[in-house]
Structure 1
Amino acid sequence: MDAEVLPSPVTAGLALVNYASVFEAFKEVAGEATKVRSPESVDELLRLVGRRICELIDAGRCSVYLRADDGLFHGQVGYSVSGRIDDRIKPLVAGVEEDRFTQEIVQTRAPVLVTDARHDARTLQRTMRRWSVQDMLGVPLVVDDTVIGIIYIDKLDRNHVYSDRELHVAQTFASLAASAIHQASLLSQLSGRSAVIARQRETLLQAADAHERLTRAVLSGLGADDIVGLLADLLRRPVLALSDRLEPMAVAAPEQAPVQPAWLVAARGAGEALVSMAVRRVVRTKSSVILPPAGDLGCPYRRLVCPMLVQGHVVGYLVVLDKGAPFTALDDRIGQHGATVLTLQLFNELRQAAARTSARSEFLGDLLHGGRDVESLHRRGRVLGVDTQAPHLVVHISGASVGDAAGGELLAHLARLLARESGLDEVLTTSVPGGFVVLLPLPHRCHDVDAMREAKRLVTEALLAVRPDGSLSTVISSVCRCPADYAEAHTETRKMTEMLERFASKGRVDLVSELGVLRLLATVASQSELLSFARDLLVPLMTHDRETQGDLVSTLRCFLDHGGQVRNTAKALGVHENTVRYRLARVSKLSFVDPERFESLLDLRLALQVIDIVGEPAAGGCTTPETATPARPAARSRH
Structure 2
Amino acid sequence: MFTLASLVRNASLELRVLVPGPPGALEEPVSWVHNTELPDPSPYVGERELVLTNGLWADRVTADEFVANVKRARAAGVVFGLREETPRTPEELITACREARLPLLEISAAVPFTAVSRTVSAMYADERQRDLLGMVHRGDALATAISHGAGVSGVLRVLTEDHDLPLVVVDRRSRVLAAVGAELGEEQVRAVVAGLTRRPPALEVDLGEERAALFPVGAVGDVEAALICLRPLAELSLAEREALEQAARFLSLEVAKQQAVQAIEMRFAGELLEMVLSGRTVEAAGRLRAFGVDPAHPLAVCAVAFAGRDATVLPGTAEAVGGFLADEAIPAAVVGGSQDIVAVLAWRRPEEELPFLAERLVETVNRRFPGRRAVCGLGGVAPYSAELRRPLLRARETCRVLRRSRSGPAVRAFLELGTHRLLLGLVDPEVVTGFADDLLAPIREHDARRGTDLELTLRTFLEHDGHWARTAAALHVHVNTLRNRLARITELTGRDVGRTEDRVDLFLAFAAQDADWSLGRPPSRRPGGGPGQEG
Give the TM-score normalised by structure 1: 0.46
Structure 2 residue aligned with 1:428: 334
Q: Which amino acid letter does the alignment assign opposite residue 610 of structure 1?
A: L
Distance 1:261 1:523 in 2: 41
Distance 1:593 1:370 in 2: 47
Q: 1:230 aligns with which of 158, 164, 174?
A: 158
Deviation, 1:221, is 1.4
Would you say 1:331 and 2:257 are equivalent positions? no
Give the secondary structure class of the aligned counterpart of 1:227.
helix
Deviation, 1:347, is 1.7
- Equivalenced residues, count: 436
Matches within 5 A, 1:35-434: 40-44=10-14, 91-92=53-54, 151-152=84-85, 199=127, 202-241=130-169, 243=171, 250-253=178-181, 259=182, 306-310=215-219, 313-320=222-229, 330-367=239-276, 369-373=277-281, 375-384=282-291, 389-394=298-303, 410-412=313-315, 415=318, 428-431=334-337
Q: 1:381 to 1:614 in 2, by over 3 A?
A: same
Structure 2 residue aligned with 1:572: 474
Give the secondary structure class of the aligned counterpart of 1:391.
strand
Q: 1:43 to 1:277 in 2, by over 3 A?
A: farther
Q: 1:489 to 1:395 in 2, by over 3 A?
A: farther
Give the secondary structure class of the aligned counterpart of 1:371.
coil
Give the secondary structure class of the aligned counterpart of 2:169.
strand
Structure 2 residue aligned with 1:479: 380
Q: Which amino acid letter does the alignment assign opposite residue 279 of structure 2?
A: G
Deviation, 1:359, is 2.1
Deviation, 1:154, is 8.8
Q: Which amino acid letter does the alignment assign opposite residue 380 of structure 2?
A: V
Deviation, 1:245, is 10
Q: Cα deviation per residue 1:224-280 (whole Å; 9 max; x = unaligned)?
A: 234224312321233343557999754423xxxxx3769x989x89x98xx999958
Q: Which amino acid letter does the alignment assign opposite residue 481 of structure 1?
A: A
Q: Which amino acid letter does the alignment assign opposite residue 376 of structure 1?
A: E
Q: Which amino acid letter does the alignment assign opposite residue 346 of structure 1?
A: V
Q: Which amino acid letter does the alignment assign opposite residue 160 of structure 2?
A: A
Distance 2:368 2:119 in 1: 71
Do the aligned partners of 1:566 and 1:577 also contact (CA within 8 Å) in 2?
yes
Deviation, 1:338, is 1.4
Distance 2:351 2:333 in 1: 19
Do the aligned partners of 2:170 and 2:225 also contact (CA within 8 Å) in 1?
yes
Would you say 1:611 and 2:473 are equivalent positions? no
Q: Which amino acid letter does the alignment assign opposite residue 447 of structure 1?
A: E
Give the secondary structure class of the aligned counterpart of 2:510.
helix
Q: 1:310 to 1:517 in 2, by over 3 A?
A: closer
Do the aligned partners of 1:615 and 1:631 also contact (CA within 8 Å) in 2?
no
Distance 2:230 2:134 in 1: 20
Deviation, 1:346, is 1.7
Q: 1:447 aligns with which of 343, 352, 356?
A: 352
Do the aligned partners of 2:454 and 2:489 also contact (CA within 8 Å) in 1?
yes
Deviation, 1:203, is 3.9
Do the aligned partners of 1:429 and 1:437 also contact (CA within 8 Å) in 2?
yes
Do the aligned partners of 1:460 and 1:509 also contact (CA within 8 Å) in 2?
no
Q: Which amino acid letter does the alignment assign opposite residue 213 of structure 1?
A: A
Do the aligned partners of 1:559 and 1:566 also contact (CA within 8 Å) in 2?
yes
Q: Cα deviation per residue 1:292-336 (whole Å; 9 max; x = unaligned)?
A: x99xx96589x5x65434466544443546699976664344333
Q: 1:450 to 1:577 in 2, by over 3 A?
A: farther
Distance 2:455 2:151 in 1: 62
Deviation, 1:381, is 2.3
Distance 1:244 1:422 in 2: 21
Deviation, 1:575, is 4.1
Q: Cα deviation per residue 1:326-359 (whole Å; 9 max; x = unaligned)?
A: 7666434433321222121122122222222222
Do the aligned partners of 2:303 and 2:340 also contact (CA within 8 Å) in 1?
no
Q: 1:360 to 1:237 in 2, by over 3 A?
A: same
Q: Cα deviation per residue 1:54-102 (whole Å; 9 max; x = unaligned)?
A: xxxxxxxxxxxxxxx99x999xxxxxxxxxxxxxx962277xxxxxxxx
Distance 1:456 1:560 in 2: 34
Q: Which amino acid letter does the alignment assign opposite residue 249 of structure 2?
A: T
Give the secondary structure class of the aligned counterpart of 2:53.
coil
Distance 2:340 2:234 in 1: 54
Q: Cα deviation per residue 1:370-421 (whole Å; 9 max; x = unaligned)?
A: 3111x432342243355773332446889988xxxxx86x443655677789
Distance 2:444 2:248 in 1: 71
Deviation, 1:222, is 1.8
* Structure 1 residue ranges without an equivalent (≥5): 1-36, 48-68, 75-88, 95-123, 131-148, 157-176, 254-258, 283-290, 402-406, 617-625
Do the aligned partners of 1:391 and 1:444 also contact (CA within 8 Å) in 2?
no
Distance 2:326 2:476 in 1: 43
Q: 1:638 to 1:462 in 2, by over 3 A?
A: farther
- Greater Cα offset, 490-499 or 512-521: 490-499
Do the aligned partners of 2:170 and 2:177 also contact (CA within 8 Å) in 1?
yes
Give the secondary structure class of the aligned counterpart of 2:217.
strand
Give the secondary structure class of the aligned counterpart of 1:447.
helix
Distance 1:629 1:400 in 2: 10
Do the aligned partners of 1:207 and 1:330 also contact (CA within 8 Å) in 2?
no
Do the aligned partners of 1:559 and 1:569 also contact (CA within 8 Å) in 2?
yes
Q: Cα deviation per residue 1:459-497 (whole Å; 9 max; x = unaligned)?
A: 9989996678xxx9x994643525566534666788899
Give the secondary structure class of the aligned counterpart of 1:428.
strand
Deviation, 1:42, is 3.4
Which one has a bigger Cα radius of gyration?
A: 1
Give the TM-score normalised by structure 2: 0.53
Do the aligned partners of 2:377 and 2:402 also contact (CA within 8 Å) in 1?
no
Q: 1:383 to 1:450 in 2, by over 3 A?
A: closer
Distance 2:506 2:159 in 1: 65
Structure 1 vs Structure 2 CA RMSD: 7.1
Distance 2:305 2:219 in 1: 36
Distance 1:500 1:448 in 2: 20
Q: 1:276 to 1:357 in 2, by over 3 A?
A: closer
Give the secondary structure class of the aligned counterpart of 1:221.
coil
